[in-house]
Structure 1
Amino acid sequence: MIRLAVIGTNWITDQFVEAALKSGEYQLAGVYSRSLESAEKFAEKYDNPALFDDLDALATSPLVDVVYIASPNSLHGPQAIQMMKAGKHVIVEKPMASSFALAQQMFEVAKEHNVILFEAFMSCHMPNFKRLKDALSGIGKIRKGLITYCQYSSRYQKYLAGENPNTFNPAFANGSIMDIGFYCLSSAVELFGEPLAVHAQAHLLESGVDGSGSVTMSYDGFEVVLQHSKISDSYLPSEVQGEEGALLIDMISTAKKLTKFTRGSDLGVDLSVKQETNPMYYEAQEFARQFKQKSADEKCTQRSLIVAKLLEEIRRQTGVKFPTDTICSTK
């Protein structure tokens, strides 16, 4: 069994632990929070995991093999590096780093200490996403793509009321492209690889982060447009158009439904398969596979690095700056 510890006690962590335990590959061995009271509350429904309010103690604990990190974005890199230098394998929530330089450093540390660093991007491990990838060859030459994820944030009203939630705070390396837009960007890279060029636009909030935006990714013979927003809702599916047909995917983050249309026919064919209700189940399985093989998947590593590089370029074009940018640039 993989002895798992978690950093962070929010709903995302709870969902990942549920998925990990359901896979049958893990046991929850530790819970970290800045407050022991929060750690105790989170751990109540689990089988007596060790509790930590000190990161050094967690990093050096002999009870733990792997640490799942779901802290604010700006803390992902520093916390992952600390854990890996102590010999812990790391599953870090997306986006793995606030800058490309930091992402590179994280993988260098993983290699140096012979541990696995895994970015928790769940979409590409979903069965229906894999079917989407496989089905691309059946619609002829790719000509256009639209990948969209727009969802009004539950924190936006707090922001409008004058509060400063993490979701819209540059100090935590957040904003639309770093959060909801990540699914669009990383999905495009998983499907089509690194683009020849990107052109990005965004609506910046007064806090300095993007509330919404769009990105055009240029490839040889086609383009993919990304739409992302945390200040409005969309009900459109994502779509890939080929010369012989098109593929529609509902909810790109969880790949709920996949439909294929063939040119000349208005009738779509449902290519979907049944999936686990907890979408994090499949990424938990994938990490367990890599852990047992004692080897990181190089394709996952390269995708994470490409996405980190593109996120930085998109922020440069749209004027989104984080306090950590200066720190990273001087290292």
Structure 2
Amino acid sequence: MIRLAVIGTNWITNQFIEAALKTGEYQLAGVYSRSLESAEQFSQPYAQPQLFTDLSELAQAPDIDAVYIASPNSFHGPQAIQMMQAGKHVIVEKPMASNFDLAKQMFEVAAEHNVLLFEAFMSAHIPNFKRLKQELSEIGKVRKALITYCQYSSRYPKYLAGENPNTFNPAFANGSIMDIGFYCLSSAVELFGEPNSVNAQAQLLNSGVDGSGSVILGYDGFEVVLQHSKTSDSYLPSEIQGEEGALMVEMISTAKKLTKFNRGDKVGLDISVKQDTNPMFYEALEFAHQFKQKKSCEKCTQRSLIVAKLLEEIRRQTGVVFPTDKKFSTK
């Protein structure tokens, strides 16, 4: 049984806890919040976990095995490093770091202290996404792909009203590509590997982060177009086109539905497989597997590093700068 603590008391933390407990591999052993009142309120539905308002106390707690970090993006790296230096295994929400240098440092600390560092990119572990990957060989040579995730942010009206929510604040290493755009980018890397070229454009908000954007990833013989937005909605599925057919995915982050078209078909075949209603269930299972094996997934590590490097390049091309870039960059 993995004795789990969480940093962050928000809806995504709740969703991960529910998924972890559902696997039967975890027990919730600790909750951290800067506010004791917030920690108490968050932990009420659970079986009396320890409450922490001091990260150092959490890091040194002897009866915590792993820590799930779902704080704002800019805190992911420093908090993960603090936990790993104290011997804790870490599951860190995506994106794992504000920039590439920090991501490399995090994996170096994990290796130095012989602990697991797991980026919580749930899509790669979801059954329909795995089925998508398997079916790529069935549609012939890939020639084009569109991976899209555009969703009007519930916090965008607050931004328009003059407030400064974390979602659109560079101080928290946020913005469209770092949030929902991450799913598009990381999915492309998971499916096709590291691209040969990257060309990015974005529509920047006055705060300095991107509200939306597009990226073209160049591969041998084909290109992948990424479309992401937090200021508008899209109702299009993602699509991968091959010479012998195409695959369509509804909601790339959770792969809700997978449809296959053979060349010439007017109607596609639903090839979806049954999935748990909580899409985080499968990443929780994967981390539990690595915990039991006492071995991290090298392929996952390489994907995380490639994505961190690409995110930094996309931001460089689009002019999105975070305060943490100066703090952690070694260039």
- The answer for the alignment partner of 1:100 in structure 2 is 100
- The answer for the alignment partner of 1:53 in structure 2 is 53
Which whole-Å CA distance do the structure 1 matches of 2:125 and 2:307 have between them? 16
What secondary structure, in the 3-state scheme, does the structure 2 residue paired with 1:317 have?
helix
What secondary structure, in the 3-state scheme, does the structure 1 residue paired with 2:97 have?
coil
Which whole-Å CA distance do the structure 2 matches of 1:329 and 1:264 have between them? 51
1:1-331 equivalences under 5 Å are 1-330=1-330
What secondary structure, in the 3-state scheme, does the structure 2 residue paired with 1:41 have?
helix
Question: Shift of residue 28 of structure 1?
Answer: 0.1
Deviation per CA, 1:241-296: give whole Å up to 9, x if none. Answer: 00000000000000000000000121211110111111100000000000000000
Question: Shift of residue 239 of structure 1?
Answer: 0.3
Deviation per CA, 1:22-54: give whole Å up to 9, x if none. Answer: 000000000000011111111101001000000
What secondary structure, in the 3-state scheme, does the structure 2 residue paired with 1:108 have?
helix
Question: Shift of residue 8 of structure 1?
Answer: 0.4
Question: Shift of residue 217 of structure 1?
Answer: 0.2
Contact 2:2–2:25 (8 Å) recurs in 1:
yes
Which whole-Å CA distance do the structure 1 matches of 2:326 and 2:108 have between them? 20
Deviation per CA, 1:122-152: give whole Å up to 9, x if none. Answer: 0010000000000000000000000000000
Which whole-Å CA distance do the structure 2 matches of 1:101 and 1:15 have between them? 30
What secondary structure, in the 3-state scheme, does the structure 1 residue paired with 2:314 have?
helix
Contact 2:65–2:89 (8 Å) recurs in 1:
yes
Structure 2: 5+ residue stretches without partners: none
Which whole-Å CA distance do the structure 2 matches of 1:329 and 1:10 have between them? 30
AA matched with 1:96: M
Q: Structure 1 residues 104-113 or 262-271, which shifts more?
A: 262-271
What secondary structure, in the 3-state scheme, does the structure 2 residue paired with 1:148 have?
strand
Which whole-Å CA distance do the structure 2 matches of 1:268 and 1:78 have between them? 46
Contact 2:158–2:164 (8 Å) recurs in 1:
yes
Count of aligned residue pairs for this structure pair = 331
What secondary structure, in the 3-state scheme, does the structure 2 residue paired with 1:175 have?
coil
AA matched with 2:182: F
AA matched with 1:121: F
Contact 2:128–2:255 (8 Å) recurs in 1:
yes
Deviation per CA, 1:133-189: give whole Å up to 9, x if none. Answer: 000000000000000000000000000000000000000000000001000000000
What secondary structure, in the 3-state scheme, does the structure 2 residue paired with 1:109 have?
helix
What secondary structure, in the 3-state scheme, does the structure 1 residue paired with 2:9 have?
coil
AA matched with 1:283: E
Contact 2:101–2:330 (8 Å) recurs in 1:
no
What secondary structure, in the 3-state scheme, does the structure 2 residue paired with 1:152 have?
coil
AA matched with 1:139: I
Contact 2:102–2:329 (8 Å) recurs in 1:
no
Which whole-Å CA distance do the structure 1 matches of 2:243 and 2:284 have between them? 36
Question: Shift of residue 330 of structure 1?
Answer: 4.5
Which whole-Å CA distance do the structure 2 matches of 1:265 and 1:56 have between them? 59
Contact 2:254–2:279 (8 Å) recurs in 1:
yes
Contact 2:32–2:58 (8 Å) recurs in 1:
yes
Question: Shift of residue 107 of structure 1?
Answer: 0.1
Q: Percent identity?
A: 81
Contact 2:214–2:226 (8 Å) recurs in 1:
yes
Q: TM-score by structure 1 length?
A: 0.99
Q: TM-score by structure 2 length?
A: 0.99
Pairwise CA RMSD: 0.6
What secondary structure, in the 3-state scheme, does the structure 2 residue paired with 1:149 have?
strand
What secondary structure, in the 3-state scheme, does the structure 1 residue paired with 2:20 have?
helix
AA matched with 2:5: A
Contact 2:69–2:90 (8 Å) recurs in 1:
yes
Which whole-Å CA distance do the structure 1 matches of 2:202 and 2:330 have between them? 27
AA matched with 2:131: R
Task: List structure 1 runs of 4+ shifted beyond 6 angstroms.
Answer: none
Which whole-Å CA distance do the structure 1 matches of 2:153 and 2:230 have between them? 5
Which whole-Å CA distance do the structure 2 matches of 1:230 and 1:96 have between them? 20
Decide whether aligned partners of structure 1 residues 138 and 330 sit closer, same or farther in structure 2, where only a CA change above 3 A counts.
closer
AA matched with 1:264: G
Which whole-Å CA distance do the structure 1 matches of 2:63 and 2:328 have between them? 32
Structure 1: 5+ residue stretches without partners: none
